[in-house]
Amino acid sequence: MTQPPLSRQIQKLEAAVGVQLFERDNRRVALTPAGEAFLGEARRILSIAEAAPDLAQRVHAGTRGLIRLGFTAASTFGVLGRLLDRLERELPEVGIELFEMVTREQIAALTGEDLDLGLARPPFDPELFDSVLLHKEALLLAVPAGHRLTELERPAHVDDLATEPLIFHSQQRARYFYDLVVSMVPLAQERIVHSVSQVITMLWLVSAGRGIAFVPASAALVGVPNVTFIALDTHLPEPVELHLLWPRASHNPALRRVLTVLASTCPGHLPQH
């Protein structure tokens, strides 16, 4: 480009920007401080423009994007961490945004497209959701350290609990565990001294000597002091279920890729996408 056209282009650029970008004389041309700043931003914009097609392709393929994951508090006792580790290794450019919710809240958020994936308790509407059983575990009895039930040399029976104060799952906010325990261990409801929604709260109340509680086996990983866990005589050895749940109508490409990655972890259980 000859000098006069180049000079005219510089003048037009400076007029459009509204500041002087170059210091010019007969011997030299140099950038002003404003020009240096403008050059840096221009290069950044060009770099973004050049990378945009690749970014669009990765988002379309699901290797980059965002997954909003709901989880129950009890699922953090081992399951959630393993799942996140797997996704971080296999899909490092897919961000995972976490939301702690009880199952009822997860169902509403998944239906309203505020979540993409959930770690929740059954049952689910199969017309709205796909799901897969991710984890099963035993139901244990949490008692204060030194409690008389720790001297049993067998699993505890319902008759062993007849006089014990109970810390129970809330019928409204922890309906899955409430129904599960009632079906597994028929108990006198008048023995309930506290009803709470979170397993961790139950453990601290047990630690304080407020009563005994029914908790998933993974609760033993929490390490709350002064709590002992006792096997419970139930007709199913591992009645507590945790499911991976997602809406059938999701259009998030990252969700399809996440499910594909998790299918390799749980072959034969998760559908291939």
d(CA 202, CA 181): 14
Same domain, 124 and 155: no
pLDDT confidence of residue 71: 93
| 197 belongs to a structural domain | yes
> Of 60, 81, 105, which residue is a domain's last?
60
| 175 belongs to a structural domain | yes
d(CA 261, CA 267): 10
d(CA 122, CA 104): 10
Q: What is the mean pLDDT of residues 237-260?
A: 90
| 107 belongs to a structural domain | yes
Same domain, 251 and 219: no
Tell me how many domains the chain contains: 3
| 236 belongs to a structural domain | no
Q: How far is CA 124 from CA 60, 121, 166, 243, 265, in A?
A: 29, 8, 29, 10, 23
Same domain, 193 and 212: yes
Q: Name the residue range of residue 28's domain.
A: 3-60
d(CA 227, CA 206): 7
What would the pLDDT profile of 138-169 be if each residue is shown by its tens digit?
A: 999 999 999 999 999 899 998 898 889 999 99
Same domain, 259 and 208: no
Same domain, 122 and 95: yes
What would the pLDDT profile of 163-187 be if each residue is shown by its tens digit?
A: 899 999 998 888 899 999 988 887 7
Which has more pLDDT, 263 or 93?
A: 93
Same domain, 78 and 205: no
| 156 belongs to a structural domain | yes
pLDDT confidence of residue 225: 95
Same domain, 87 and 45: no
d(CA 118, CA 69): 5
pLDDT confidence of residue 267: 44
Whether the per-residue pLDDT at 221 is higher than 60: the answer is: yes
d(CA 48, CA 54): 10
Tell me the sheet residues that pair with 70. 99, 118
Same domain, 209 and 189: yes
Q: What is the mean pLDDT of residues 258-267?
A: 74
pTM: 0.70
Same domain, 170 and 254: no
Residue identified by tokens 């392709």 is 57
| 273 belongs to a structural domain | no
Whether the per-residue pLDDT at 243 is higher than 70: the answer is: yes
What would the pLDDT profile of 43-69 be if each residue is shown by its tens digit?
A: 887 777 665 565 555 444 445 689 999
Same domain, 147 and 215: yes
Look up the CATH number of the domain holding residue 185: 3.40.190.10
DSSP the chain: --HHHHHHHHHHHHHHHTS--EEE-SS-EEE-HHHHHHHHHHHHHHHHHHHHHHHHHHHHHTSSEEEEEEE-GGGGTTHHHHHHHHHHHH-TTEEEEEEE--HHHHHHHHHTTS-SEEEEPSP--TTTEEEEEEEEE-EEEEEETT-GGGG-SSPBPGGGGTT--EEEE-TTTSHHHHHHHHHHS---GGGEEEEES-HHHHHHHHHTTS-EEEEEGGGGGS--TTEEEEEB--SSSS-EEEEEEEETT---HHHHHHHHHHHHHSTTTSPP-
| 144 belongs to a structural domain | yes
What would the pLDDT profile of 76-126 be if each residue is shown by its tens digit?
A: 888 888 899 999 999 998 999 999 998 889 999 999 889 999 999 998 999
Same domain, 169 and 222: yes
Look up the CATH number of the domain holding residue 21: 1.10.10.10
| 271 belongs to a structural domain | no
Q: In angstroms, how far is the first alpha carbon of the chain from the final one?
A: 54
Same domain, 155 and 22: no
> Of 13, 45, 60, which residue is a domain's last?
60
